[in-house]
């Protein structure tokens, strides 16, 4: 995953265009080796609150399409997509399933799915519509009451849709 917000924030004085060019060059230079090792690099767009580079799925997909390598995919994250103006199901449907490499399910309140205001009914339908039939990874940033309770509740909630 290439998702950590600080590892890709713009350096002082760097333009987005310059950063984009460097990112394309860097990713392009490692993707063949990643393939030899059986690895896929997944680019995770994050909200502008977290980073200032690649903030939307459209931007992430622009890079994926520009590089056009089978070992570069998009990493979708529900919490991050909630920061976009476009509804999350529409964002998901804008990406073909074969372009998705990883999928985080969570809530915009930093808890697991079903523990906040995000309606997963339409999201689940969109996930099915694009043909994503691989793992959904629960990613949380708040752990109360405890991790096991959050994991069990998240799984139970997701099973009601999948």
Model pLDDT, residue 7:
80
DSSP label at 53? S
Model pLDDT, residue 52:
93
Model pLDDT, residue 1:
75
Model pLDDT, residue 113:
98
C-alpha 15 chain-centroid distance = 23
Structural domains in the chain plus CATH codes: 6-159 (3.20.20.150)
Model pLDDT, residue 107:
96
Alpha carbon distance 88, 80 (integer Å): 9
Q: What angle do CA 153, 137, 121 make, to 5 degrees?
A: 60
Model pLDDT, residue 37:
98
Run means of pLDDT, 10 residues per run, the chain, 162 residues: 81 92 97 98 95 96 98 98 98 95 97 97 98 96 95 97 96
Model pLDDT, residue 9:
87
- Residue 145, preceding peptide bond in cis (omega within 30° of 0): yes
Structure tokens at 88: 């999350």
Model pLDDT, residue 154:
97
Model pLDDT, residue 6:
78
């Amino acid at each position: 995953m290439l998702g950590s917000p600080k590892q890709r924030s713009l350096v002082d004085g760097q333009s987005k265009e310059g950063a984009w060019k460097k990112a394309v060059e860097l990713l392009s230079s490692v993707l063949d080796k990643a393939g030899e090792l059986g690895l896929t690099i997944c680019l995770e767009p994050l909200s502008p609150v977290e980073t200032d580079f690649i903030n939307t799925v459209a931007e992430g997909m622009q890079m994926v399409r520009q590089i056009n390598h089978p070992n570069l995919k998009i990493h979708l994250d529900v919490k991050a997509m909630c920061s976009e103006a476009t509804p999350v199901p529409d964002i998901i449907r804008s990406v073909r399933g074969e372009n998705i490499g990883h999928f985080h399910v969570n809530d915009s309140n930093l808890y697991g799915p079903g523990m906040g205001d995000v309606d997963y009914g339409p999201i689940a339908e969109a996930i099915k519509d694009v043909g994503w039939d691989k793992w959904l990874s629960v990613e949380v940033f708040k752990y109360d009451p405890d991790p096991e309770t959050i994991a069990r509740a998240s799984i139970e909630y997701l099973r009601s849709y999948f």
